[in-house]
Amino acid sequence: MNKNIRHYNPIFKENAVLLSYIRNTIRETAEELHIDAKQLSKWRKIYEKFGKGSFPGLGNKRVYYENKKIYELEKELSESELRLEILEKGLKYMHQGKHVLCNFIHQNRDKYPLYKMYEVLGASHSTYNLWTKQPFSKTETRVYFLKKEISSIFFQFEQYKGAILITRELQSRGFQISKGQVSFWMKELGLRSKVKKKFIATTNSKHNSCIAPNILNRHFKVDKPSKVWVSDITYIRIDRRFSYLTVVMDLYDRKVIGWHLSFGLSTKVTTLPAFEKAIVNRSVSEGLIFHSDKGIQYANKLFTDKLIEHNCKPSMSRTGDSYDNAVVESFFNTLKREAIYKQTKLLTTREMKIVIFDYIENWYNKKRIHSSLNYKTIEEFNNVNYEKEENTL
């Protein structure tokens, strides 16, 4: 059996050494204090070297007593510099809500001690832990997709629908919402109907910004595959809860090359799996433009690092402007109109996956005629263009 290890506090060690100088021998002092003579001898050697700085306590650096004050000042200075550095980098995120602040802490967890960031930035350990497990509450999730739906309807009808008509449209889509609530969120989004007054929608992103410029700039006609991919997320109501569909589409032939249905909103269960399926189904060209909105699932280090890994250029829509990603918005509207809203009851998870798979893989990507492709199916469009390339060669 292992012997029990005894621990002695710094004061006891120093007093033991001083007592050994008074007594005749080390052994006599050790017997009197009921400690090991070899241990006491070791303490004496340390004391002879460091003096009163010999036993600083657990976790503290042993220094010469004369240098102890300097050491303490240096330690205090280092602590102050660390606090100042954290404050300088994190100050702009402190008043942007818990998501932004927790995201900053998460991205810098390998650079700064977590407890120090909690202390300096006024966060708490429990809030951060809860955020890592569930970044979005049910209310925040509902509001996020409600705002996306309001923006989509607003721009779909060329900014001529006001709060009353948008409320009716939302109610027809299954939302239980009043005109007052729609007016509130339209004001938050900076949306005003052209019937009343021309207004440019301008909203500020309220999350930690891995924001990219709008490189695509509504140039939706592409002459080669894997030159521009576009992506977005939409909600789909199923039995007892919401699911979230993420798609990646190649603008060249409008084919959905990657999609994923999830029940959470983190990057790991939305944009990452959809993108990973896309790169399996279609090779990535050098400098491929990946266009999306400024949602936190795209504008974060985890996803942007994945794009950089595959030499992709991120591009993002202007805030609150659905036209900047109109192709995917149109796809979602078509999907819901042709497949989802036709259901006579709320489907189970398994049933919804089957419906979406059948629509995307068997209908949309293979049989549906697309006006943007000169009224050809995706396969017909690609065959015609392949033959043209062969003839030019």
Does the pLDDT of residue 220 top 50, yes or no? yes
**In the chain, helix, strand, coil percent, each to 5?**
55, 10, 35
Average pLDDT value for residue range 124-144: 72
User: How many Å is the maximal CA-CA distance in the chain?
Assistant: 107
Q: What is the spatial distance between Cα 47 and Cα 292, in angstroms, rounded to a whole number? A: 66
Using pLDDT thresholds of 50, 70 and 90, give the confidence band for residue 257: very high
pLDDT of 3: 54
Give, in order, the Cα–Cα distances in Å from 123 to each of 208, 263, 300: 16, 28, 20
Torsion from C-alpha of 373, 374, 379, 380, nearest 10 degrees: -160
- 228-389 has CATH 3.40.50.12780 classification: no
List, in order, residues 6 or more apart from 4 with CB less than 8 Å away: none
Average pLDDT value for residue range 123-135: 75
Q: 29-43, 279-293, 306-320: which range is least confident on average?
A: 29-43
pLDDT of 245: 95
The proportion of the chain whose per-residue pLDDT surpasses 90, expressed as a percent, equals: 28
- The pLDDT tens digits for 330-352 are 899 889 888 988 888 888 888 99
- The pLDDT tens digits for 108-122 are 888 888 888 888 888
- Domains of the chain, by residue range, sit at 10-62, 69-133, 138-189, 228-389
Q: What is the spatial distance between Cα 259 and Cα 360, in angstroms, rounded to a whole number? A: 9
Segment of 62-76, 94-108, 256-270 carrying the highest mean pLDDT: 256-270
Which residues on adjacent β-strands are paired with residue 314? Answer: 290
pLDDT of 71: 57
Does the pLDDT of residue 135 top 50, yes or no? yes
Does the pLDDT of residue 2 top 90, yes or no? no
More confident residue, 29 or 278: 278
Average pLDDT value for residue range 296-319: 91
Q: What is the spatial distance between Cα 182 and Cα 166, in angstroms, rounded to a whole number? A: 7
pLDDT of 113: 86
pLDDT of 384: 85
- The pLDDT tens digits for 159-198 are 556 778 888 887 877 778 888 888 887 787 777 665 443 3
Mean pLDDT across the chain: 81
The proportion of the chain whose per-residue pLDDT surpasses 70, expressed as a percent, equals: 82
Using pLDDT thresholds of 50, 70 and 90, give the confidence band for residue 221: very high
- The pLDDT tens digits for 198-212 are 333 323 344 456 789
pLDDT of 142: 73
- The pLDDT tens digits for 59-95 are 566 655 555 566 566 667 778 888 888 888 888 877 7
